[in-house]
Structure 1
């Protein structure tokens, strides 16, 4: 039997109840690292990959500006990676003009899984924008789709956004302000609000993954 979401997440109840949930924030113990230089990015990614154990799972997300101009191709501007609760990286690849090979290697790695909501779409976006995964058959080995993982774990057929996953598994709300979400992610430098928003999505993805991994039915009854 498929599990349904609790009443407080229904259309009739979520606006009232979710407004009472605390906002998810980056803790002071989590360092936000902003990189917009290809050499700097390469060094950081080499160090990061060497520090990660095989079978590690890291929070992952991307952002790009949406121009709504017919025929214009909007290229990925930032790649966010959260390897643990102490670090979140925001790589502004639009400023680099490329994806440095150590970052490409990290994304393509089948040993280090990237997790997030619609990470499938993010990987295809990176494939089209930067030829990440020239061998497309290897793509599915590099990520864990968070929405699918959640549905399998709690036997639910519900659709999931990252915000709804945070509400359900973390009992926290994830702010999604349109003026930031739909802003110019290719501008340089990124604003503090943009950096925080970008890092928080990757951080939330990691937290939700870990919560699902340790899920016990009694926790969410």
Structure 2
């Protein structure tokens, strides 16, 4: 019988022990650090992008800011205000040639009082805007209302538009004995055009609804001293934006058809509400 080759010879016990020792030396030991089944559940977390999306899901959409990009004409002396008012009247007369109606965004500012029962200051600033390229900011605290500006305000052929503009007109009359004529309130017009339950629209809510823009009204500017000797850049931009936004939103509202009342629509269709 042939001798048994090395490949066919069975391992001795000593050789088997050596093999087991080698295998044991290279096999990783399972520890709490590398055992995935032992990781506590409370240590699990979403990746950062997942957390970011979840946290923003209920965030309020922020519209781009509305800004006035045109030229601001600031006047504070009697002669400056008269010149500005004269320019405005000339612009209005030209527009009347090719426009059925001339509209002017109108607003006023006054110095706030922070004392209970304190007297409200007189209208200190008047801003008027008739197009997207030009806005007049008149510091009437220093100039008063000269005759040319009075003629502009009392002109019934140009409509002055704004939110709660009736209250502004009353204040101008009480403070300067000048009647601002031909007024249209944006809130009332919005209720006619947009329908639904009547509501008190503000300039900001109208901007968000109609043109998807936000109007920022920083308190430190809105409640600033409008009787100061010279208006700051922030005050001028704030005042101009209010007048421009009023004019612009009026154009948008006027372009819309009047809302149809639900009851009227049902009657027109030959049905009646149950």
Moved over 4 A (4+): none
Unaligned 5+ segments in structure 2 are 1-57, 259-274
Establish whether residue 92 from structure 1 lines up as the match of residue 134 from structure 2: no
TM-score, structure 1 as length reference: 0.83
Partner of 2:219: 178
Partner of 2:75: 35
Aligned mates of 1:188, 1:200 — CA distance in 2: 21
Give 3-state SS (helix, strand or coil) of 2:104's partner. Answer: strand
Aligned mates of 1:72, 1:174 — CA distance in 2: 29
TM-score, structure 2 as length reference: 0.67
The structure with the largest alpha-carbon Rg is 2
Report the alpha carbon displacement of residue 158 of structure 1 after superposing the two structures with TM: 2.1
Residue of structure 2 aligned with 1:78, choices 101, 116, 125 = 125
Partner of 1:22: 64
Count of aligned residue pairs for this structure pair: 194
Report the alpha carbon displacement of residue 176 of structure 1 after superposing the two structures with TM: 1.1
Work out whether residues 89 and 152 of structure 2, in 8 Å CA contact, stay in contact via their aligned partners in 1: yes
Q: Deviations over 1:169-217 (max 9, x none)?
A: 1110000111110111111211100100000000000110011111269
Give 3-state SS (helix, strand or coil) of 2:123's partner. Answer: coil
Greater RCO structure (CA 8 Å; 6+ sep) = 1
Give 3-state SS (helix, strand or coil) of 2:251's partner. Answer: helix
Residue of structure 2 aligned with 1:191, choices 219, 229, 232 = 232
Partner of 2:174: 128
